[in-house]
Structure 1
């Protein structure tokens, strides 16, 4: 069994990954389960690579208007926080979710919140076997140009409108049925920062009570100035009350 592993990032991990000219935060293959403190990257990255980890919920993103590409293939993702990524990743153009655990069409509702999204992959997810999988993605996000590495054709767009309606304001019965299932699925999956921040050691917000407000503020200032992963991890443990500085 893989234990809980909380992964924090530092600005030193942000670098230009050849041959791409864009800044890439490369965090693949680290057994990451929960992403925290992406705000410390100061929105310096055009792309984030979280491939080959153990992430189950795609959530907890700070506002990252520069980010245009998110690679999270080969994880364990079974739910995506539509409200979080829709609000905080406004310019995301590429999202690769290949080889994860998204089960049904209702689990794909988040694509409708990503207005800039053009390239999307959910290959080797259970949802891809659902009837009208591709049609539903096209209808929920008309801006998609490539799905599962295959270009969206005009004929597919027309077919999606025939199936589901000319717009979200005039859905067909089939569209309403799937939309209702989206609502039900969303209600059953609650994403909270406090829940995501609690690790196997039971640490988290409650442990902050061990420090005075002045102590916590000093730790936060040290966290802002931290430049290495080890230093950030040490401060985070102190904030959780697991150790002292």
Structure 2
């Protein structure tokens, strides 16, 4: 159970870290136990001096998985039963380059786009997201497998070669379209005309504001069909009539 959201979170101080229990877990990793302390923010972990292979933050109130110091020794992070809504994958990858196991059971990841950052974890082999709302999204498992290329186990189930192939088939083409859309410039491809009556005509295509709105809509889309529709709009430059700016 989470602590009351209205209660003040306890700080992760140097003293808390110094007094925490240590043990060797069943994998033989040197682990520090920081479970159930109502910690709301990751701070002061540098005082641990990268002495541990595993960090157990199960049952706290962490909202953002960020602000980690350099921990090249770290292989395992456990954040089950927190309130994490998004993962800063690039920052996490820089802080924990050897990370192979990440537990995010029962957190607040809602949309497929909230999992994108996990793709930055190039050595991630075991990932657990059970209990997050995103798990109910269409093609959730294939999407995460596509993003996390080194993944061997997702939600306690082995990633099969057939799933990897299906993930590439399902999302590979869309990913390429999205990448091309990032370089789309309003007006690109318009043929010049010598017609003097068209010299002052404005080029067609979405405005910068509409482009931003499209990218936000893609990140928050809840179905594969919606993602494809919006990415096609980005690629073609034809803005959907129902797009909210």
> Taking structure 1 as the reference length, what is the TM-score of the superposition?
0.67
Give secondary structure in 2 for the equivalent of 1:120.
Answer: strand
Q: What's the C-alpha RMSD, in Å, of the aligned pairs?
A: 2.7
Q: How many aligned residue pairs are there?
A: 182
Distance in 2 between the 1:132 and 1:160 partners? 9
Match of 2:8? Answer: 3
Distance in 1 between the 2:74 and 2:91 partners? 14
Q: Please tell me whether the aligned partners of residues 73 and 96 of structure 1 are also in contact (alpha carbons under 8 angstroms).
A: yes
Distance in 1 between the 2:79 and 2:148 partners? 20
> Taking structure 2 as the reference length, what is the TM-score of the superposition?
0.67
Q: Please tell me whether the aligned partners of residues 56 and 77 of structure 2 are also in contact (alpha carbons under 8 angstroms).
A: yes
- Alignment partner for residue 123 of structure 1, among 113, 126, 130? 130
Give secondary structure in 1 for the equivalent of 2:52.
Answer: coil
2:85 matches 1:78 = yes
Distance in 1 between the 2:180 and 2:85 partners? 22
Match of 1:26? Answer: 33
Deviation readout 1:79-101 (Å, 9 max, x if unpaired): 22222102111110000000000
Deviation readout 1:118-141 (Å, 9 max, x if unpaired): 000110100111111111111111
Deviation readout 1:53-102 (Å, 9 max, x if unpaired): 11111111011010000000011111222221021111100000000000
Cα 1:119–1:92 change in 2 (3 A) is same
In structure 2, runs of 5+ residues without a counterpart are 1-5, 183-213, 221-245
2:172 matches 1:160 = no
Shift of the alpha carbon at 1:165? 1.7
